[in-house]
Amino acid sequence: MPSQEALDAIQAIVAKCSAAQADLDNQRSALEDQIQTIESPNPPRGLTDAELAQIDKLNAAIDALSDLDDQLSVDEAEQLNDSDAAKSLADDIKSSNGKLKDAIAAVQKTAQRLQDLAKFIQQIDGIAQNLIKLSTLLA
């Protein structure tokens, strides 16, 4: 699977899970708003047993949504882990890393050869300087 297709498949999984998490967040906010409305009667007064029971039910629903959110995160991770797209992309990355390591090794060899050549040129320069000195002494 080409890298772009793999990336698109991975992004589709993430987008689907993100949409589901956004839906859970919206439901949680709506429940929290209901609790806030019940807890703030107008005019202010003490809450009735029925209102307290309703708040307990809403809090239980919020807890259930939190559990669903946790499970959704686990499901998303499992889908990504089991995804052929993720495996394909990981293989592409490993292959690219291997090629990059080979290229770096080739550059290092070339750099070493250039350093060796520079030393050789310095030696030749030294010999040339000595020959010039010798020729001046002989002249």
* 91 within domain boundaries: no
Query: Does 73 lie in the same domain as 22?
Result: yes
Structure letter (DSSP) for residue 43? S
Q: Is the pLDDT of residue 109 over 80?
A: yes
Average pLDDT over residues 16-36: 94
- DSSP string for 83-110: -HHHHHHHHHHHHHHHHHHHHHHHHHHH
**Res 80: pLDDT:** 83
101 and 74 in a single domain? The answer is no
Q: Are residues 66 and 108 in the same domain?
A: no
| pLDDT at residue number 55 | 95
Domain that holds residue 73: 1-82
Q: Is 18 within the bounds of a domain?
A: yes
| 14 and 41 share one domain | yes
Peptide bond before residue 2 is cis, with ω within 30 degrees of 0: no
pLDDT, tens digit, for every residue of 53-106? Answer: 999 999 999 999 999 999 999 989 888 888 888 888 888 889 889 999 999 999
* Claim to verify: residue 73 and residue 112 sit in the same structural domain: no
pLDDT over 70 at 1, yes or no: no
Residue identified by tokens 């070493």 is: 112
Residues 34 and 74 in one domain: yes
Instruction: Say if 89 falls within a structural domain.
Output: no
Residue 75 · residue 8 · CB < 8 Å: no
Quick check: is 1 in a domain? yes
Cis status, amide bond into 43, omega within 30 of 0: yes
Give me the pLDDT at residue 92, please: 83
H-helix or E-strand spanning residue 53: helix 49-82
- Domain count for the chain: 2
d(Cα 12, Cα 9) in Å, to the nearest integer? 5
Task: Examine the domain organization and report whether 18 and 66 are in the same domain.
Answer: yes
8 Å CB contact between 86 and 6: yes
The reply to whether 40 and 74 lie within a common domain is yes
